[in-house]
Amino acid sequence: MNKIYNPKQDTWSEILRRPTKTIDDIEVTVKEIFKEVQKKGDEAVAKYTSIFDGIALDNYEVSKEEIQEAVDLISSELKEAIQLAKNNIYKFHAAQKTERVSVDTIEGVNCWQEKRPIQKIGLYIPGGTAPLFSTVLMLAVPAEIAGCKEIVLCSPPDKKGKINPAILYAANLCGVTKILKVGGIQAIAGMTFGTKSIPQVYKIFGPGNQFVTVAKQLATQFGVAIDMPAGPSELLIVADDTAVPAFVASDLLSQAEHGTDSQVILVSTSKKLIDDVEKEVQKQIEELPRKEIAKKAIENSKLIFVENDQTALDLINDYGPEHFIINSQFDDFYCNGIVNAGSIFIGNYTPESAGDYASGTNHTLPTNGYAKNYSGVNLDSFTKSMTFQKISQKGIQNIGKAIELMAEAEGLQAHKNAVTLRLKSLE
């Protein structure tokens, strides 16, 4: 692990640089597949499913029988855990609903705002060594609360043409309307353009590898929105001598095991804590089934000592972490001062894992510094705000002259005339 003591501010950007990779070659591949899916539809989807997933499928849609098989395969204990998580996620996101906002801006002019669901939502759920069925809950539950009419889920099939049963169980539990055995770039392209098997959607959500990430970004060029730009997972912890070293180490490792390009950082005002955490990491990592992945991520981790909390806070806001854990006696200072972070976890008994699974907050969060200008997924991510206005005779008389003057000053005579005609009709 890399220990850094009292880094100067002008070195922060270099020290905290994300392990991003060049996407030039990836973009070429993604664009080629997008063009082929746009032109050939399911034929291209079948081709790339065979190449990337090693399986030829006649039908991509998951059947009712396959869903029931998945339900039967899930243990009652896991079902209860998933239900608990769903309940908490539902409760937190349902609380985010807002009523219609209405105001008379001047006598006779009533303006209001209402939210409407995005009608067609696409969810991408990775498979592989870590099938993220928890992400199904994080995306499908708020989509259902928002009232999205179509919720389409794509996830890559295994070599037997199956999707992980936990993903199917969670999708069925949370109101997903169509589940498709399609992964990778071809899934994103399919939801972007629509094929005979894959419905076209208006907005795509969900994590994925660097190919999926670039594919989502390309989808925006074809009129499809996405949840946010994304990169490798990341976690930053600020801790002092009130923190428990074993807890801190476990949190660092929980993020490191996501992938070799995950980034984990500890910022501390205690050199002793840094040393103790380093020892705990070395101890705990040997017990992990995914230790080889975690070790590669930990090799690039940073243990940063700073002299005081203000410096720590400035550094953290400069970085803008996806996940931010506060294990400090001055937690109010950090809570009040943090302005750039995706999701914040406070205290020794609040692991980042809680937000990943069952506390109720959403784990789909901005990475790669995008916490400076993006929110994590929330109920509003699945809605659009629409404005309305209704103006009475008195209202148009109250604002009409101002509109005429402003339109004329901008050289837009037809805009002025639309008001002038109405005002004259009231004389």
Which residue out of 323, 352, 408, 427 is catalytically annotated? 323
Q: How far apart are the first and last CA of the chain?
A: 80
Residue 425, marked binder: no
Alpha helices in 184-342 (DSSP H): 184-193, 210-219, 245-256, 271-285, 291-299, 309-319, 331-337
123 forms beta bridges with: 153, 205
Residue 356, marked binder: yes
User: Does 322 qualify as catalytic in the annotation?
Assistant: yes
226 forms beta bridges with: 204
Residue 218 CB-density burial (10 A; 0-12 exposed, 13-18 middle, 19+ buried): buried
Structure tokens at 119: 């009608």
List C-alpha distances in Å: 399 to 104, 123, 319, 390, 425: 13, 45, 47, 13, 15
Quote the CA–CA distance of 323 and 315 in Å, as a whole number: 15
Residue 186, marked binder: yes
Residue 227, marked binder: no
SS3 228: coil
Residue 374, marked binder: no
Residue 209, marked binder: yes
Residue 413, marked binder: no
313 φ, ψ (degrees, to nearest 5): -65, -40
Asked whether the beta carbons of 338 and 317 are under 8 A apart, the reply is yes
Which residue out of 144, 278, 280, 322 is catalytically annotated? 322
Residue 93, marked binder: no
Q: DSSP string of 96-142?
A: T--PPEEEEEETTEEEEEEEEE-SEEEEE---TTS--HHHHHHHHHH
User: Does 93 qualify as catalytic in the annotation?
Assistant: no
Provide the annotated binding site for substrate.
233, 255, 258, 323, 356, 410, 415
Binding-site annotation, residues: 124, 186, 209, 233, 255, 258, 323, 356, 410, 415
Enumerate the active-site residues: 322-323
Residues flagged as binding site for NAD(+): 124, 186, 209
> Which parts are annotated binding residues for Zn(2+)?
255, 258, 356, 415
